[in-house]
Amino acid sequence: MAGRGMDTVLADSLKKAVRSGGWDATRDILNLHPYALTARFPLTGRTILHVAVAAQKENIVQNLVDMMSEPADLAIQDYKGYTALHETTYRDNSRMAKFLITKNNSLIRIRTFSKELPVVMAMRYGQKKLASYLCPLTPSGDLEAEQGHQGSALLTYAIYARHFDFAMDLIHHCPSSASPSLDLTNSLSPWNALATFQMTENQLILWEVTINGLILQYIPILASWRQSALRYLSRIVRADHHPPDRPGYHSFITAFLTVLLERLLGRELENNSFQDLLSHICTEIRTFTQSQVDSTIVPAIFCAISRGNFEFVSSMLKANPEFLLIRNSEGMSIFQCAVLHRQAKICSLIYELEGVEALLAERDKSGNTILHLAGMLTEHTPIYDQIAGAALQMRREVQWFKDVESICLPITRELLNDQGLTPRQVDG
């Protein structure tokens, strides 16, 4: 009888047999107590199939599936609404997932009691391989906004997991996954996930590594061809540094350089995939309603500014130049926000745009001009160099104030905020 309860003694015996990996012992217990094949364990409501999946016992999972005569037996949910397929999402085990789906392909559509599909759970736990297996099997209709915004959640988790190729495929599979939703918090918004992504700038990295007294200085690597770059770096080591003649030394250096180069190229590919996804998803903005833009896109832009995500801000302004005029909850423009967060690169981007002059005269809700904000120290102010200490921090803050002052109208220096302070009187 599916879902029937099981006494504690029998449950403990079954769990012990399964977790030890002994199929013979498990089968013997089931032969004595056939109902235990689909009965629920106390407290959790799980079945023996749940336990076998959780224990990663593939042979037992396969045998249990073969023993179950009814596909519905695989769909029994525990007290959280998890089927055995949901259990696979913690463990990135595509083989076990395939055992289950082959027997009952409707498992792919069963939601937990919190309305979560197996594919979404898999990506939430960072199980990229399993999510990639489950996604094409999941009907696109199940991911639509009308069915609980599972597509948006899946896209968000994919972006946080830096699985950008998957994210791009998902948007093609389910275009509505990129649409903002008033029912989702910003933390579950794919736009917020994109805004918080930090690109790794390989071009700015200078490597200096010491190996057995040998200092290797690596210039930025922007190689398209792995072998040619590896030969180039190996030639630097052999020709310029005269490494000691030790057994295995050259092979060690070659292996080290291979790992280094693969990491650099991997980051470059990741950055490129992020930019491709960002460019594609920005084309969807023109289809959004004003309420969608206000509730999701605008907060994401200000979030990106605070994180220094130049690519996101640049893409947003390119997609819709009117984003130059948006304000956050404190009444700040994007230029003011960039100044407050000391984001010089983003400030330079905005300053080159047409119509920016008007922003220089704007005030926030506290009457602060852009120059007041340049002088403020807040919890958001970046610490440039903790080792160098307060003196360097102060010099950089003074220089930042002067840089912003140089683009403002002279009268801005004397304007008062709501506290009656000029920009130079603002306390840090």
Domain ranges of the chain: 1-110, 115-176
pLDDT value, residue 115: 93
* The model's pTM: 0.80
The mean-pLDDT minimum among 72-76, 129-133, 262-266 falls in 262-266
Average pLDDT, rounded, for the chain: 84
pLDDT at 213 over 50: no
Mean pLDDT lowest for which of 194-198, 331-335, 367-371? 194-198
Question: Has residue 298 got a pLDDT over 60?
Answer: yes
Mean pLDDT over residues 212-229, rounded? 44
pLDDT digits (tens, 9 = 90+) for 87-100: 999 888 899 999 99
Is the pLDDT score of 388 beyond 60? no
Q: Where are the alpha helices (DSSP H) in 36-149?
A: 48-54, 58-67, 84-88, 94-103, 118-124, 128-134
225 vs 133: CA distance, rounded Å: 30
Q: Read off the pLDDT band of 258 (50, 70, 90).
A: low
1-110 maps to CATH 1.25.40.20? yes
- Among 5-9, 113-117, 135-139, which stretch is predicted with the lowest mean pLDDT? 5-9
Residue 428 clears pLDDT 80, i.e. is over it: no
pLDDT on residue 339: 95
Q: How confident is the model at residue 218 (pLDDT cuts 50, 70, 90)?
A: very low
The angle formed by the CA atoms of residues 424, 426 and 428, to the nearest 5 degrees, is: 110
Integer distance in angstroms from the first to the last C-alpha of the chain?
70
| Residue in this structure with the two tokens 């210039």, named with its chain if needed | 219
Give the chain's length.
428
What integer pLDDT is reported at residue 373 of this predicted model? 94
Q: pLDDT at residue 38 above 80? A: yes
What percentage of the chain has pLDDT greater than the value 90? Answer: 61
pLDDT at position 338 is 96
Query: Tokens in use for 203?
Result: 């071009």
CB 47 within 8 Å of CB 40: yes
Which pLDDT score, from 0 to 100, does residue 37 have? 95
- Give me the residues paired with residue 65 across strands: none
CA pair distance 252, 304, nearest whole angstrom: 41
Specify the pLDDT at position 216.
40
pLDDT top residue among 133 and 176: 133
> How far apart (Å, rounded) are the C-alpha atoms in residues 81 and 227?
51
Indicate left, alpha or beta for 289 from its phi (over 0: left) and psi (-120 to 50: alpha): beta
Q: Which of 78-87, 150-159, 254-263, 267-276 has the lowest mean pLDDT?
A: 254-263
Confidence of residue 223 (pLDDT cuts 50, 70, 90): very low
- Judge whether 39 and 5 are in contact, CB under 8 Å: yes
Give me the pLDDT at residue 146, please.
74
The tens digit of pLDDT for each residue in 399-419 reads 899 999 999 989 999 999 999
- Cβ-count burial 35-60 (b if 16+ within 10 Å, e if not): ebbbbbbeeebbbbbbbbbbbebeeb
Name the most confidently modeled range: 40-54, 181-195, 199-213, 345-359: 40-54
